[in-house]
Structure 1
Amino acid sequence: MINKCISTYLIASLIVLCFSKELSAQQRLSFGEDNYLGSYHITVGYDKTTHLIFPHKIVYVDLGSADLLAEKVEQVENILKLKANVEGFSTTNLTVLTGSGSYFSFLVDYAIAPKELNIVLAEKTTGKENSSTDFPLSPFPRANDGIASTGAKALFENKSLNQTYMEKLSGLVMGRKQTRHLAGLAKYNMRFALHGLYIQDDLFFYHLQVANRSNISYDIDFIRFFIRDKKVGKRTASQEREIFPHYIFNPTLNTIPGNGSLDQVYVMEKVTIPDDKVLRIELFEKKGGRHLSFLLTNKDILKAGLLQ
């Protein structure tokens, strides 16, 4: 009788185990071809600039490595400039989202002389509707019929920013007097500093000041903002996310004479960062080596003052 009960229990246990495995297999989802998005292959150089021309405003850019530099063209919302930060870098990736919700993914390799310097990217269209693609403020000719993006979409909240309003508030920032810099770096007889940080209507206003204490003029190549890991191990890849300004006050002043200075205001969308991240602000000299940068922590950003 005991043996019969044991046999019955074992059989029941096996049935439950088999049923559980079958149920687990049914619940486990697998990826199909429709779940994967391809990446376009592009090359960039150290001495040449590659331009990517998107059909809509660029709202998000992610760089897989600090060896790659990316910057939006001033006063133009849909053109991204790419350049190598170091020669001969390893393959990395680039992700771009546009205001229409289009998602673009790229694999980027280094090339001494890239063949394609101006690339037009088009949204994928089907049928006769929307058969043509609008390229706002795109001064470069098409190298071909464009590269079709994938059908993946991201939805964004509809938000309009008034340039006149941002210009007015930036003027108020320039008029604020500060007795000390919030953060910065002094090097090469130069000083690159955050002179003030303010918030108004969910917009951050970064008052940057560059002082040239040498007799040699300083030509600004670009200033970039990106969020990165605070600490990076030797065998750990750093994740970086570049953020772009909605507006720049004094954008055309790019040369600082000897013993001169320059003040600019960068208007950014409100962003706070985790404690294990930092905001890095970089200044690059055109055709020179006096590159400067400094870091802001979340604690620094939370000290932003009210503008009005």
Structure 2
Amino acid sequence: MKRAITIMVALLLALLPASAQKDTLRVSAHFTTHVIFSTDVTYADMSNSRSIAAKVIEQNKNMIAVKAREPFSEPCSISALESNGRMWTFVVIFDDSPSVLIVDTRERERIRARESLAESPEDGAAADDSRDGRKKARKAPSKRRSEGNTASTWKTGDAPTLAEVSGMGREVFHIGTSGYGVSVMCENLYSYSDITYMVLSVRNGSGISYSVADATFVIESRRQSRRTVAYDQTIFPRSRHGSLSAGPGEQGKIVYSFDKMTLSKDQVLRIYLYEEGGQRNLVMTVSPSDINKAKSIMK
């Protein structure tokens, strides 16, 4: 009976229009999926609370964390209402190892806005004037800026590119973790105005390739006990350059840029690396003094 229901649901999903299929969340019982919205979430509802758990992030009310309570075969749904009146509904399907753990609805809105603008051509001279104005407004990027990924959080000025930061010599040697023949190190921590750069490297000394899609960054309470309530905050990098994956005997390096990051003395930054298709998961801890005293780089 369950097999027949599963097949029927799969057929119904296949018949959904492309726009509906885009709003499908794949969740796991092992990993947490985060959905980011443009504004604060004022209402959220799950069609089946026995299969999935969801909550609005306390520190960032424009984010919802979703996780499967246990494996389930029948799809369910989750709906969210933003403070700007935008309503979202996602079909939720169980996936033991989802390829995407962060769903940013803001990017979808930007894509839809660009598509809408492209489908609405302007008339006559107004269109020509608009195109001429856009051409004049554009400035050719300098050679130095185009050689590497820029830190997208930068607002004014000329911040170092991620490629430039990646090429800098290692200056941090005491932050790292290892296990299963794999070592992960934080090689550099830099700050440039309101940008924080973090350089991570992976050395794979095992005979099996080590693959990590992306690191998960969580600000956690240093002291956790039954009498205290801990508020964990997941933070998301604005841009990245490189890879955390490494073949047998090889190395990988990645540079992240964040909006200004500081920690209180009672907090730590924990970096979680979840292996794709494996269980060699690693955790690295960065102290508040290391974050708050990140070396300033000025160009």
Q: TM-score, normalised by structure 2?
A: 0.56
Which residue of the partner structure matches residue 257 of structure 2?
A: 267
For residues 152-187 of structure 1, the C-alpha deviation after alignment (integer angstroms, 9 at most, x for no partner) is xxxxxxxx8359989852122111112652400121
Q: Is the 8 A contact 1:51 1:119 kept in 2?
A: no
Distance verdict in 2 for CA 1:125–1:277, change over 3 Å: closer
The runs of at least 4 consecutive aligned structure 1 residues that moved more than 3 Å come to 42-45, 47-54, 88-94, 102-109, 114-126, 135-139, 160-168, 234-237
For residues 71-123 of structure 1, the C-alpha deviation after alignment (integer angstroms, 9 at most, x for no partner) is xxxxxxxxxxxxxxxxx99967332788xxx7566786614227557756453
- Residue aligned with 1:285, SS: coil
Distance verdict in 2 for CA 1:226–1:190, change over 3 Å: same
Distance verdict in 2 for CA 1:296–1:105, change over 3 Å: closer
Deviation at 1:280, TM superposition (A): 0.8
1:112 aligns with 2:66: no
2:69 maps to a residue whose letter is: Y
1:123 aligns with 2:71: no
User: Which of structures 1 and 2 has the larger relative contact order (alpha carbons within 8 angstroms, sep 6+)?
Assistant: 1
Q: Is the 8 A contact 1:93 1:108 kept in 2?
A: no
1:276 maps to a residue whose letter is: D
**Percent of aligned pairs with the same residue?**
24
Q: Is the 8 A contact 1:278 1:295 kept in 2?
A: yes
Residue segments in structure 1 that go unaligned for 5+ positions in a row: 1-41, 61-87, 140-159
What is the distance in 1 between the residues matched to 2:254 and 2:285? Answer: 18
Q: Is the 8 A contact 2:36 2:106 kept in 1?
A: no
Counterparts of residues 48-67 of structure 1 (less than 5 Å): 52=35, 54=37, 56=38
Alpha carbon RMSD of aligned pairs, Å?
A: 4.2
Tell me which protein shows more strand as a share of its residues. 1
Which residue of the partner structure matches residue 153 of structure 1?
A: none
Q: Which one of 46, 55, 58 corresponds to residue 29 of structure 2?
A: 46
Q: TM-score, normalised by structure 1?
A: 0.55
What is the distance in 1 between the residues matched to 2:172 and 2:72? Answer: 46
Q: Which one of 253, 266, 270 corresponds to residue 276 of structure 1?
A: 266
Which residue of the partner structure matches residue 233 of structure 1?
A: 225
Q: Which one of 191, 203, 209 corresponds to residue 217 of structure 1?
A: 209
The structure having more radius of gyration, on CA atoms, is: 1
Aligned residue pairs: how many?
Answer: 208
What is the distance in 2 between the residues matched to 1:227 and 1:289? Answer: 23
What is the distance in 2 between the residues matched to 1:45 and 1:113? Answer: 10
What is the distance in 2 between the residues matched to 1:229 and 1:211? Answer: 29
- Residue aligned with 1:299, SS: helix
